[in-house]
Amino acid sequence: MPAFNAKAGNDYHGVVYWLFLGEFVTYLRHVRSLDFTDKPDYSYLRNLFYDVMRRNSWECDWEFDWVLQHKVRALKLNIKILKQM
């Protein structure tokens, strides 16, 4: 696993990877320990990531990347249609 170096110009995904690394390891260990018929502790798993957000003073706005990308494409299409009128 490569070391994270903020001065080396690592991208956003690299930063997120290092901020969540411990939580991802914990998450994966938990789900890998489950038998097929076991029910995951969803509250525990959700809180792993909510705790990272709280620690970093991030707010959950429920605006996911794929939603924003869809909205931007729709807006561009609307602008294109309006320009043709």
* Helices first, then strands: H and E counts in the chain: 3, 0
Distance between CA atoms of 73 and 44, rounded to whole angstroms?
36
Distance between CA atoms of 55 and 74, rounded to whole angstroms?
35
pLDDT 10s digits, 31-74:
999 999 999 999 999 999 888 888 888 887 777 767 767 777 77
Residue spans per domain, the chain: 6-60
pLDDT 10s digits, 10-25:
555 566 666 667 888 8
CA distances from 58 to 13, 25, 82 (A): 16, 21, 37
pTM summary value: 0.51
Find tokens 């997120």 and name the residue.
16
Segment (H or E) for 7: none
